[in-house]
Homo-oligomer: A and B are copies of this chain.
């Protein structure tokens, strides 16, 4: 078994500028850490062993920067990435911080705001393309309501579709090669956010003009805020070929968006996720969208970032151990062989209808799931 938990480029660990640069501002409190210039964030990430750095447009370039300022900032950032050996796999756009987006961006009632949101996203795509990103995440943090009296929710969906279709064309026209990854969240900062779950986006994508260009970016915390099983959402996205990106962090269910260090709230859920990604062969970035507690200085931020990656690697090693455990494998084997899918034919339907099943017998066999789950816990605890 591997027991070296050092992050390496092949692990594809990435962090957003906004994660290590998070200053700890929250609804009831001010920032606790000084600003971390993007170039310093790049150095911090390189130091702890990350492979990639992601960003919203305004993480790097202030919303009111002049073109000259923008170019200077971008140039310095590119140099820092080059110097540090970091890539920029993903870019995104901030459509939530500025007051202009208080009623949403693509779905806002004001057509001017919708147009501005589109313009800002196109510019963020320009930036992302320039930095080499091939994944563009769209998180519509303000696309929602506190009162549903303000607009029909089906109109909001139409507006959202119109925007995504437009942006796909823009990427095609500019030959940016972006794959868009849509990120769902149920609420916060809006009372309710449209497209509350990864599933909702999986339903939305087939209604687009270019469904092949669009997938999802599920985030642990966002599904768990609603108490949903994150693994199930990821598996559905994967099975549909739509797992374009993933946001790793942690969260207790039924609460504000906590964005905790990966694996720090629920070790077992994190294990199930890592195991699935590794078993399935997901080869995209392992992106950590989390931030350090407010109790930390930047040395603590480094601890936080290191912890995310180290826990991932420990859990990856446990997944291998689980797969290699002979008792576990023997339990799995007993559970039922894979069977070829049965396609309908009038003949097999007639046959099926005439079969007699022994319900009592089928129902009386113990399935050993308690044992299987206990063994899983023990693999995690390192006692087997």
Contacts and interface: CB of A to CB of B under 8 A. Distances in A.
A112 interface: yes
A380 B377 contact: no
Interface string A131-148: 000000000011000111
A131 to B, nearest CB: 19
A304 interface: yes
A39 interface: no
A343 interface: yes
Given A149-B376, A373-B147, A256 B255 contact: yes
A227 B252 contact: yes
B227 A186 contact: yes
B173 A314 contact: no
Contacts of A253: 227, 252-254
Question: Interface residues of A toward B: which range?
Answer: 35 or more
A381 B217 CA distance: 28
Contacts of A3: 383
Nearest to A267: B267
Nearest to A167: B344
Interface in A10-38: 24-32
Interface in A353-384: 353, 355, 357, 359, 362-378, 380-383
A284 to B, nearest CB: 16
Contacts of A298: 366
Given A293-B369, A367-B103, A111 B336 contact: yes
Given A153-B235, A170-B349, 10 more contacts: A28-B96, A146-B258, A152-B279, A154-B238, A191-B258, A198-B199, A226-B227, A227-B255, A296-B370, A297-B365
